[in-house]
Amino acid sequence: MPELPEVQSVVNHFRKYVEGQKIQSVKPLNEWNKVFHSISPTKLNHKLKSQNISKLWRRGKYIILDLDQGYLAIHLRMTGRLQTKINKTDHLKHFTVLMKFENGTNLYFKDYRKFGRWYYFETLSKLEAKLGPEPLGSAFTRQFLKEGLQRSPGMIKPKLLNQKFIAGIGNIYADESLWTARIHPMEKCCNISTVKSNRLHQAIQEILNKAIGHKGTTIINFSPGDEARGNFANYLNVFGKSNEPCPRCKTLIQKIFLGQRGTHFCPRCQKKR
Ligand SMILES: [Zn+2]
């Protein structure tokens, strides 16, 4: 699933096509209308038609379009991606939305698995209520992380995936951050020392920034835009590396399942207390 760096890379790629444009129409393709979640396609088109898009940005794993009135939020989920054109190798059955702009540009939403969703919001308060601070924003301080962990009796890996605690981190960057900070994914949050919490804070920010610099991680079919690929997969240390040697100590990386999420760690570098 695309996480913060992937979604940021999509935003970075599409800003030039989307910002400043006026929407002519938005419609579902292939009669697949679950993509619009709780609003009918006709109603959504009516809301969006003739609206100007002043800004394209990211909040957590959501792509946000600021409109004259309200907001459009896109969640890519597993396989959603944006394209400005249909390529020769594409199958039309995989497309779920076509947004047309008055300048003639088209924005397609392609989604093999069809879990991706487009939401219209009058205000962002509902979304904000579900999301914690941005890990690259000023509210995500060492103090914030330390206090959040101290209050939490649960395990650290699921805590990092909790979007209400911190927005945007998913499976890849949680595993990579915990490996860098040398924290066992099943460690109880409240057992994590200040030194380790600070190390985790630094790891999260460094890894996310580096991944954005490489346009995210393409493992199967993520694309930051059109046919481009993210190449942060070349810099992963543990994610997807089970039974390969740890880059730090050469012990074999283990994979376990935590809350049904594949979790990769080094049993030697990441000891539980
Ligand atoms: Zn190791």
What is the Å distance from ligand 1's center to 238 Cα? 9
Do the Cβ atoms of 164 and 196 come closer than 8 Å? no
Can you tell me which residue has the tokens 């919001």? 121
How far does residue 137's CA lie from ligand 1's centre (Å)?
Answer: 30
What the block records as the tokens of 167 is 């927005």
Q: Quick count: other Cβ atoms within 10 Å of Cβ 40?
A: 11
**Which residue is it, tokens 């093999």?**
112
Distance separating alpha carbons of residues 139 and 154, to the nearest angstrom? 23
CA of 266 to the centre of ligand 1 (A): 5
Catalytic residue among 6, 58, 59, 61: 61
Amino acid identity of 37?
Answer: H
Tokens 């997807």 correspond to: 240
The pTM (predicted TM-score) of the whole model is: 0.95
What DSSP character marks residue 251?
Answer: P
Closest CA to 6 of 170, 140, 185: 170
Q: Which of 2, 158, 185, 224 is catalytic?
A: 2
Report how far ligand 1's centroid is from the alpha carbon of 154 (Å). 24
Q: Per CATH, which fold does 142-265 belong to?
A: Helicase, Ruva Protein; domain 3 (1.10.8)
> Which amino acid makes up residue 247?
P
**Catalytic site includes residue 142:** no
Q: Which residues pair with 252 in a beta bridge?
A: 245
**Structural element, H or E, at residue 119:** strand 117-121
Distance CA 5, CA 215 (A): 7
Q: Based on the residue annotation, tell me whether 185 is a catalytic residue of this protein.
A: no
Helix/strand/coil percentages in the chain, nearest 5: 30, 25, 45
Among the listed residues 114, 182, 188, 261, the single catalytic one is 261
What is the pLDDT at residue 49? 96
CB atoms within 10 A of CB 30: 13
H runs (alpha helix) in the chain: 4-18, 41-48, 125-130, 142-150, 156-161, 171-181, 194-213
| 2: annotated active-site residue | yes
Centre of ligand 1 to C-alpha 207, Å, is 18
CATH number for region 4-130: 3.20.190.10
Q: Domain extents for the chain? A: 4-130, 142-265
How do the pLDDT tens digits run along the chain, 273 residues long? 899 999 999 999 999 999 999 999 999 997 666 888 788 899 999 999 999 999 999 999 999 999 999 999 999 998 999 999 998 889 988 999 999 999 999 999 999 888 999 999 999 999 999 999 999 999 999 999 999 999 999 999 999 999 999 999 999 999 999 999 999 999 999 999 999 999 999 999 999 999 999 999 887 767 888 777 888 999 999 999 999 999 999 999 999 999 889 999 999 999 998
Q: Is 41 a catalytic residue?
A: no
CA of residue 121 to ligand 1 center, whole Å: 45
